[in-house]
Structure 1
């Protein structure tokens, strides 16, 4: 029997997070914060019952060349 896990995750948004700006259908402008921090909870079945593990993870975005994400007008 294989190990089964449930993983829950989401962003920890801050006003200082960078904002990605792109184009969507019908030439709509899309904006999304790019979070530096995330939360993650992993729930696993163990011999004793259920175990849960919580984490706060960070990503270093200082070396990201943001111009790579620029969407051309056309």
Structure 2
């Protein structure tokens, strides 16, 4: 059974994706800026330090962020 924090993380991710889509749809930021935000977020996790378990968590989180940045969700590819 997943931990309660798993549900919170999934909800937070969905909300952030929806916000980034709205920002893009309403042309508040160009897609290149949104991509930059996602790259910066991923880099934060890629450069994090900690125990082996913490490092694995950061690696997975960075990978998820890269998938969002290169997928068809936030950055709609033509």
TM-score by length of 2: 0.24
TM-score by length of 1: 0.24
The structure number with the bigger radius of gyration is: 1
Name the structure with the higher strand share: 1
